[in-house]
Amino acid sequence: MLKGKTALVTGSTSGIGLGMAMALARQGANVMLNGFGDVETARAEVSRLGTRVSYHGADMSKAIEIEAMVRACEAEFGSLDILVNNAGIQHVAKVEDFPVDRWDAIIAINLTSAFHTTRLALPGMKRRNWGRVLNIASVHGLVASAEKSAYVAAKHGIVGFTKTVALEAATTGVTVNAICPGWVLTPLVQKQVDARAAQAGISNDDAKRQLLAEKQPSLQFTTPEQLADLAVFLCSPAADNIRGVAWNVDGGWVAQ
Ligand code: NAD
């Protein structure tokens, strides 16, 4: 379905981003990966799917590196058609204890980076009259949890940003939408499970059960594959007129 298209997925060396990159590659899209950590394993996993795969190590907190990445993607593949703004970090602390550098990093990586990638990718998408911008927000773009002020502010911000850009592109073939996952068991959440287990002196499995029971009525983690299948749907012609939505995949979290 996506043969001939190029996807740039930020933060795709792990978790949800890697799932998105694999699903888009399975549909035939060329993929540019980005992110830190085990780059080679991610690259090998996506390359196995038979499309062209590239990697750029831009730090998503740095505008100049983001611009270099977008330009490199366009130069290497000839276009950037599907932009998945996924890179994100978390820090948990009460607002009066929140480290200033963590606040700045969360706003830069989880919110401002999407402004930069979008402003740079949009002109080419509009010229070709086809594009997809998928912002990986969170249920925390719709509702709050205590001790996550920076994350909740950034995610509410990206939901608002999604709606604005969707309106600006509404008469073109470029759609802009957000996906809002609840708990997904990735390294980002495993850290919170570990912290809970250590603090309460309980097992990892009990910490997972507690985490789910507090917020996610299905008592099941959403998987990166489920989110990636939604992304593929949002890239399909059936989704041509879906614009500016914040689509939660959260086991009932925000229905409460
Ligand atoms: P993860 O920790 O598995 O992956 C995060 C990715 O971002 C990694 O590839 C990492 O290298 C990359 N990254 C981090 N800082 C970066 C930087 N400065 N520059 C470039 N890349 C950077 O986390 P995940 O759970 O897969 O999270 C992906 C996105 O999904 C995030 O935006 C997160 O907020 C969102 N999300 C996650 C959950 C969840 O339950 N896991 C729920 C809702 C939303």
How far is it, in rounded angstroms, from Cα 55 to Cα 253?
Answer: 35
DSSP for 45-70, please give it.
HHHTTSS-EEEE---TT-HHHHHHHH
Specify the pTM: 0.98
pLDDT digits (tens, 9 = 90+) for 119-142: 999 999 999 999 999 999 999 999
The residues lining ligand 1, judged by C-beta closer than 6 Å to any ligand atom, are 11-17, 34-37, 59-61, 86-89, 109-110, 136, 138, 181, 183-184, 186-189
pLDDT for residue 111: 98
Same domain, residue pair 117 and 203: no
Examine residue 255 and state whether it is found in any structural domain, yes or no.
no
SS3 call for 179:
strand
**127 Cα to the center of ligand 1, angstroms:** 30
Same domain, residue pair 47 and 95: yes
Closest to 23 measured CA to CA, from 227, 178, 245, 242: 227
CATH number at residue 16: 3.40.50.720
Closest to 90 measured CA to CA, from 154, 144, 133, 36: 154
Same domain, residue pair 84 and 168: yes
- Out of 43, 91, 188, give the residue to mutate to test ligand 1, the one with the largest number of ligand atoms within 8 Å of its CB: 188
Please count the CA atoms within 13 angstroms of the CA of 228 that sit on its side-chain side: 19
Residues marked active site are found at 151
How far is it, in rounded angstroms, from Cα 163 to Cα 123?
Answer: 18
SS3 call for 41:
helix
Examine residue 94 and state whether it is found in any structural domain, yes or no.
yes
Examine residue 1 and state whether it is found in any structural domain, yes or no.
no
Examine residue 39 and state whether it is found in any structural domain, yes or no.
yes
How far is it, in rounded angstroms, from Cα 26 to Cα 198?
Answer: 39
Same domain, residue pair 39 and 156: yes
Total number of domains in the chain: 2
Structural domain for 24, as ranges: 6-182+223-248
**109 Cα to the center of ligand 1, angstroms:** 9
Residue 249 has pLDDT above 90, yes or no: yes
Same domain, residue pair 203 and 168: no
Residue 37 vs residues 69, 77, 105: alpha-carbon distances, Å: 18, 24, 18
Examine residue 113 and state whether it is found in any structural domain, yes or no.
yes
pLDDT digits (tens, 9 = 90+) for 34-62: 999 999 999 999 999 999 999 999 999 99
Quick one: tokens of 147?
Answer: 């001790």
Same domain, residue pair 95 and 212: no
pLDDT for residue 64: 98
The closest residue, in CA terms, to atom 6 on ligand 1 is 11
pLDDT band of residue 21 (cuts 50, 70, 90) is: very high
Quick one: tokens of 130?
Answer: 């086809």
Residues 6+ apart with CB under 8 A from 214: none
pLDDT for residue 127: 98
Closest to 225 measured CA to CA, from 10, 43, 19: 19
**Phi-psi category of residue 192: left, alpha or beta, with phi > 0 → left and psi -120 to 50 → alpha:** alpha
pLDDT digits (tens, 9 = 90+) for 58-99: 999 999 999 999 999 999 999 999 999 999 999 999 999 999
Same domain, residue pair 101 and 169: yes
Same domain, residue pair 213 and 134: no
Examine residue 256 and state whether it is found in any structural domain, yes or no.
no
- Backbone φ, ψ for residue 131 (5° rounding): -175, 160
Average pLDDT over residues 5-15: 97
Residues 6+ apart with CB under 8 A from 236: 1
pLDDT for residue 113: 99
pLDDT for residue 188: 87
Which ligand 1 atom sits nearest the alpha carbon of residue 189? 41
